[in-house]
Amino acid sequence: MSQYEVRDGGHLIARVDFAYPNSKLAIEAYGRRHHSAWIDHEHDLSRQNALIAAGWRMIIVTWARLHNARAPLMRTIARALAT
């Protein structure tokens, strides 16, 4: 699912770029537009920690890799889903 809202009860923990909710696997694609300033980095780390604390696993990629190196990314996702 894309733009998936991870919730704890009614409380929004984070909206992730892609998710496999049944496996609690979130995939975040970071690009320069929204993830280049230090404040963005701090926000990203806070969200990642909240997701991990809620039992989610994370795969983090760049937008460039998402669009230009899909086969390796798909293998990584498949391995994560298999565990």
Using CA atoms, how far apart are residues 17 and 19, in angstroms rounded to an integer? 7
Residues of the chain under the 50 pLDDT cut: none
- Determine the pLDDT at residue 22: 96
- Determine the pLDDT at residue 60: 92
Number of separate helices (H) and strands (E) present in the chain: 4, 4
DSSP letters, 48-76, are HHHHHHTT-EEEEEEHHHHHH-HHHHHHH
What is the token pair recorded at 80?
A: 């994560």
- Determine the pLDDT at residue 65: 86
Go through the chain and tell me how many residues it has.
83
Domains in the chain: boundaries: 2-78
- Determine the pLDDT at residue 57: 97
